[in-house]
A and B are shown apart, each in its own frame.
Chain A
Amino acid sequence: QKEVEQNSGPLSVPEGAIASLNCTYSDRVSQSFFWYRQYSGKSPELIMSIYSNGDKEDGRFTAQLNKASQYVSLLIRDSQPSDSATYLCAVWGPYNTNAGKSTFGDGTTLTVKP
């Protein structure tokens, strides 16, 4: 079992729809969770971080975390063609130690069709 798992996709949604991206992780002591967006040929760009159970909203993006289920998701409302990219889920651990590092999922490719 991979430490961080994502559906590889591709996920295709029409413009204006809600895109839902999912991620599960295996290490129960993980404390910090991130979503990155990566356009083709570019490096990852941080779009959301979440540390506590529940929802966190930032503009059209909402991250949801459920530590009991070891599940984190990203919702993109009013999807735009410019949202077409690969979305990487990252889990940071162990908490607050110099040995900490991120484990990345393989990414979900999202295509928003006009």
Chain B
Amino acid sequence: GAVVSQHPSRVICKSGTSVKIECRSLDFQATTMFWYRQFPKKSLMLMATSNEGSKATYEQGVEKDKFLINHASLTLSTLTVTSAHPEDSSFYICSARVRIAGGLFTDTQYFGPGTRLTVL
């Protein structure tokens, strides 16, 4: 399958600082990447869809000024948590969309390993 990397894997920061998380597709070009967050023992929550060269599409209830997404190239999307607070502590996971052509296009989604953010 396609490989997606994330950096950093774990970050601890003080309240009020900003944290940038990088998501890279290593062996393919990803025109679309997704950002999720997951609280312990809870389901994945889609935060936003990131399309290369255009503004991200945020899900309802997600503050776009707090969670800045940039998809500057076909292999890199970044999520910046601005002015982080303890309630932003969570597991942030990116994924990349792969389109497989085989008569009919099919879409598959591969996940990065995730970034665990702890805000003190």
Bound Cα distance from A41 to B115, whole angstroms:
10
- Report, as a range, how many residues of chain A touch the other chain: 20 to 34
Does any Cβ of B come within 8 Å of A62's Cβ? no
Contact B111 A43 (CB under 8 A): yes
A45 to B1, CA, bound (A): 10
A45 neighbours in B (Cβ, 8 Å): 111
CB distance from B101 to the nearest CB of A (A): 11
Interface size class of B (residues with CB under 8 A): 20 to 34
B112 close to A96 (CB less than 8 A): no
Query: Could you say which residues of chain A place their CB within 8 Å of the CB of B1?
Result: 46
A87 interface residue per 8 A CB criterion: no
Which residues of chain A have C-beta atoms less than 8 A from B104's C-beta? Answer: 51, 96
Interface set, chain B 40-79, CB cutoff 8 A to A: 43-44, 46, 49, 51
B109 within 8 A of A: yes
Chain B residue contacts of A14, Cβ below 8 A: none
User: Within the complex, what minimum Cβ distance (angstroms) separates A23 from chain B?
Assistant: 13
A85 shortest CB reach to chain B, Å = 13
Q: Could you tell me which B residues sit within 8 Å of A by CB distance?
A: 1, 31-32, 34, 43-44, 46, 49, 51, 91, 93, 97, 104-114
Chain A residues packing against B (C-beta within 8 Å) = 31-32, 34, 36, 41-46, 49, 51, 88, 90, 92, 96, 98, 100-102, 104-107
